[in-house]
Amino acid sequence: MKPFGYFLIAILCTFCVYNTTAQTKNNPWTASFGTNMIHNPIRDIDDDNNRFKSWNWNTGGFRLSIGHIISNRLYLEGAASLSTVTDNYKITDKKHTYASIDGMVKYHLTRGLYTIDPYVTLGTGYSWIDMYNRSLRLYGSPVIHGGIGVNFWLTSSFGLTVQSQYKYAFKDYGLNHFQHAIGISYRFGEKDTDNDGINDREDKCPDLFGMIETGGCPDRDGDGVIDSEDLCPDNFGPPHLSGCPDRDGDGTPDKYDMCPDEPGAIDDDGCPRRDSDNDGVDDRFDKCPLVPGPKENSGCPDPKQQAREEAAANLEKQRARDNDIKQAVILELAKLSKLITFDNGQTSLTTNSTVALDEIAKIMIIQKFMKFHIAGHTDSTGNRTKNIQLSEQRAQAVKDYLLFKGLESNRITSQGYGQENPIADNTTAEGRLKNRRIEIFVVN
Q: What is the pLDDT of residue 132?
A: 67
CA dihedral 224, 225, 228, 233 (to 10 degrees): -90
Q: What is the pLDDT of residues 60-96, one digit of tens each?
A: 899 999 999 887 789 999 999 999 998 876 656 688 8
Q: Which residue has the higher pLDDT, 182 or 15?
A: 182
Phi-psi domain of 365 (left: phi exceeds 0; alpha: psi -120 through 50; beta: other): alpha
Question: Across-strand partners of 57?
Answer: 37
Q: What is the pLDDT of residue 210?
A: 79
Q: Collapse the DSSP code of 382 into the 3-class scheme (helix H, G, I; strand E, B; otherwise coil) and give the result.
A: coil
**Res. 432: pLDDT tops 50:** yes
Same fold, 2-188 and 321-442: no
Whole-Å CA distances, 51 to 130, 323, 409: 14, 139, 159
% pLDDT > 70, the chain: 88
Q: What is the pLDDT of residue 51?
A: 75
Interatomic CA distance for residues 168 and 174, integer angstroms: 9
CA quadruple 332, 337, 339, 340: dihedral positive or negative? Answer: positive
Question: Is the separation of the CB atoms in 225 and 242 below 8 Å?
Answer: yes
User: Average pLDDT in the 96-103 region?
Assistant: 93
**Res. 20: pLDDT tops 70:** no
**Res. 280: pLDDT tops 90:** no
Domain ranges of the chain: 2-188, 321-442
Instruction: Given CATH 3.30.1330.60, say whether it is the number of domain 321-442.
Output: yes
Q: What is the pLDDT of residue 17?
A: 34
**Res. 243: pLDDT tops 70:** yes
Interatomic CA distance for residues 406 and 401, integer angstroms: 9
Q: What confidence tier does 47 reach under pLDDT thresholds 50, 70, 90?
A: low
Using the CB atoms, write b or e for 219-249: b if 16+ within 10 Å: bebebebbbeebebbebebeeebebbbbebe
Question: Is the separation of the CB atoms in 229 and 218 below 8 Å?
Answer: no
Rounded-to-5 percentages of helix, strand, coil across the chain? 25, 30, 45
- Helix (H) / strand (E) element for 242: namely none
CA quadruple 101, 107, 108, 112: dihedral positive or negative? Answer: positive
- Give the number of other Cβ atoms within 10 Å of residue 86's Cβ: 19
Q: Collapse the DSSP code of 52 into the 3-class scheme (helix H, G, I; strand E, B; otherwise coil) and give the result.
A: strand
Residue 295's φ and ψ, nearest 5 degrees, are -60, -35
Q: Which residue has the higher pLDDT, 132 or 237?
A: 237
Q: What confidence tier does 271 reach under pLDDT thresholds 50, 70, 90?
A: confident
% pLDDT > 90, the chain: 41
Q: Poorest-confidence range of 34-43, 175-184, 255-264? A: 255-264
- Give the number of other Cβ atoms within 10 Å of residue 360's Cβ: 25
| Per-residue DSSP letter, 222 | -
Q: What confidence tier does 136 reach under pLDDT thresholds 50, 70, 90?
A: low
Question: Is the separation of the CB atoms in 372 and 364 below 8 Å?
Answer: yes
Residue 179's φ and ψ, nearest 5 degrees, are -120, 115
Q: What is the pLDDT of residues 175-222, one digit of tens each?
A: 899 999 999 999 887 777 777 767 777 788 888 887 777 878 888 888
User: Average pLDDT in the 285-299 region?
Assistant: 83
Q: Which fold has domain 2-188?
A: Porin (2.40.160)
Q: What is the pLDDT of residue 197?
A: 67
Interatomic CA distance for residues 259 and 222, integer angstroms: 26
Residue 432's φ and ψ, nearest 5 degrees, are -65, -35
Q: What is the pLDDT of residues 376-386, one digit of tens each?
A: 999 888 889 99
DSSP-assigned states of every residue in 270-296? T-----TT-SSS-TTT-SSTTS---GG
Counts for the chain of helices (H) and strands (E), in that order: 5, 12
Interatomic CA distance for residues 273 and 284, integer angstroms: 8
Phi-psi domain of 171 (left: phi exceeds 0; alpha: psi -120 through 50; beta: other): beta
| Per-residue DSSP letter, 339 | T
The length of the chain is 444
User: Average pLDDT in the 351-359 region?
Assistant: 91
Q: What is the pLDDT of residue 52?
A: 83
Q: Collapse the DSSP code of 236 into the 3-class scheme (helix H, G, I; strand E, B; otherwise coil) and give the result.
A: coil
User: Average pLDDT in the 277-288 region?
Assistant: 82
